[in-house]
Chains A and B, each alone.
Chain A
Amino acid sequence: MTPPRDIDVLVAEIGSTTTVVSAFDGLSDESRNAGATSRWA
């Protein structure tokens, strides 16, 4: 089983009818060295 990937942050946008969660990496000092900023949504 693949271990969870460390990332900087998840952000939830909670709306009345939908919730969108986005993941970001490459924003903090420790992750920035690993490469460009990434986002999944």
Chain B
Amino acid sequence: MNAARAQLEERSGALWPRHFLATSSAAGGLRMTVHGLTAKMTAMAAREAALGAGGVVEYQTAGKLRRHDLKAIAAARPNVIMLAGGVEGGDVETVLHNAEMLTQVDFATAAAPPDAAQTPIQDRVLAAGRKPMIIYAGNSAVCDESCEILTEAGFHVRVTTNVYPGIDQLDIVPARTVIHDAFEDHIIHAPGMERIGELVTGNILPTPGAVLLAAETLAETLGDLVVIDVGGATTDVHSVTDGSIEYNAIQTEPQPHSKRTVEGDLGTFVSAEHVNELIDERQRPQHLPPAIPRTDEDRLIAEQLAHTATVTGVYRHAGQLAYLYTPTGRQTVARGRDLTACRHVIGTGGALTRLPGGLEALRAACARNGGDRLLPSADATVVLDNDYIFAVCGALLGHFDAEGVVQLMLHSIGVLASSDAS
């Protein structure tokens, strides 16, 4: 970080900042496991909370944890575990059982040696003997009891509101702040990373969590929108929308106002091989480009991979119409994320903003000729985060007036900017 600052100051002259903020996606970001009572209710809500905060969900369970799950949790080497389960006034047995079972996970054997130079930050934390943090987000009736069980076993526990307090109710925004705090706490305790805590004066946010914060704030000005970030390893899709009135009436799955999905098999470098297989055989490139393509040919291939990752990522993020056949005839229902009300589709990340073809990829991700997927409309405005600034803006939001930060984003996407940035 000091080297990067020194490079900057070579060009700008010496700087004396009033604040020093940071986002981090180092070593794959914040690894989490999430646990709930039922797959499509409390476990789903915990997953949405984790992804919305910028976490990477490595393992998810519903129902009572079994011995097999304990091994899988240890192998996932989570930084943070989210324990949910039970609506308010509902089941208490499962979440208590799961709290007891988590005390039996052997994290030490799965951890890497603490002094390995190439060991990711998160693994160094575990290896230093620090257990993952547990965030309790379940039925409040047994919150104290669960926390006592976990604290006695040496876990550091934080509490947030029940992420699924009632049937078809999601309450995941409070959990996000707690996850961000947990991330920061974890990062600054990693051997070799202690100085970050000294240098940085504000929060250290997971980078994808910062992008979602930025997208939410921009949506207050622009209306419903989608932000797509194609990276070397993953493609993140963030949407901020309550869906259209038309499909809300037939929606069968509760959706948060803002949602992030991360596709671990869609990227232009680490996951390039898988993306390549999605391309029509006749157009499939014969070799894959390096992380930063240098030749015209490699740039063309990387562009093709980014295009496929964008279209596939948005397609997976979107919900769809489904048809139920009942005694009274066929009924149409909507399942999953409704993007049809999103009027702006924004590309960020190196692949979309630094290679040619970003806008074409975004246009291709929008709906064409109807279909059952609830994609953004074909006439949605597609724009690029030309200054590659969304993650940074997410970090700035906690410290500066949203108005100024929104102006930076508007300038970057070339929409309605009212002041110049230089």
In Å, the complex CA distance between A38 and B14 comes to 15
Set A11, A20, A40: member contacting B21, Cβ < 8 A? A11
Whether A36 and B421, one on each chain, are in contact in the complex, defined by CB atoms closer than 8 angstroms, is yes
B331 CB-CB contact with A under 8 Å? no
B5 CB-CB contact with A under 8 Å? yes
Set B15, B25, B291, B421: member contacting A14, Cβ < 8 A? B25
In Å, the complex CA distance between A21 and B5 comes to 6
8 A Cβ contacts from B10-43 to A: 11-28
Whether A36 and B391, one on each chain, are in contact in the complex, defined by CB atoms closer than 8 angstroms, is no
B405 CB-CB contact with A under 8 Å? yes
Whether A19 and B16, one on each chain, are in contact in the complex, defined by CB atoms closer than 8 angstroms, is no
8 A Cβ contacts from A1-41 to B: 2-17, 19-24, 26-28, 32, 36-41
Residue on B nearest A31 in the bound complex, by CB: B18
Rounded to whole Å, the gap between the CB of B307 and the closest CB of chain A is 23
Whether A11 and B400, one on each chain, are in contact in the complex, defined by CB atoms closer than 8 angstroms, is no
Residues in A whose Cβ lies below 8 Å from that of B421: 36-39
Residues in B whose Cβ lies below 8 Å from that of A20: 4
Whether A9 and B19, one on each chain, are in contact in the complex, defined by CB atoms closer than 8 angstroms, is yes
Whether A27 and B23, one on each chain, are in contact in the complex, defined by CB atoms closer than 8 angstroms, is no
Which range contains the number of B residues in contact with the other chain?
35 or more
8 A Cβ contacts from B153-197 to A: 196
In Å, the complex CA distance between A40 and B11 comes to 9
Whether B4 and A12, one on each chain, are in contact in the complex, defined by CB atoms closer than 8 angstroms, is yes
Residues in A whose Cβ lies below 8 Å from that of B322: none
**Most chain A C-beta atoms within 10 Å of own C-beta, residue among B4, B5, B7, B420:** B4
Residues in B whose Cβ lies below 8 Å from that of A8: 17-19, 400
Residue on B nearest A29 in the bound complex, by CB: B401
Rounded to whole Å, the gap between the CB of B231 and the closest CB of chain A is 9
B383 CB-CB contact with A under 8 Å? no
Rounded to whole Å, the gap between the CB of A17 and the closest CB of chain B is 8
Taken residue by residue from 312 to 330, chain B's Cβ proximity to chain A (1 for < 8 Å, 0 otherwise) reads as 0000000000000000000
Interface residues of A (CB under 8 A from B): 2-17, 19-24, 26-28, 32, 36-41
- Give 25 pairs: A residue, B residue, CB < 8 Å, sorted on A: A4-B14, A5-B13, A5-B15, A7-B17, A10-B5, A10-B15, A10-B21, A11-B23, A12-B4, A12-B5, A12-B21, A13-B23, A14-B24, A15-B24, A15-B26, A16-B26, A16-B27, A16-B120, A21-B1, A21-B5, A23-B12, A23-B17, A36-B419, A36-B420, A39-B421
Interface contacts beyond A23-B15, A27-B405: sample of 13 additional A-B pairs, CB < 8 Å, sorted by A: A4-B13, A6-B16, A7-B16, A7-B17, A9-B21, A11-B23, A13-B24, A15-B24, A17-B291, A21-B5, A22-B389, A39-B389, A41-B8
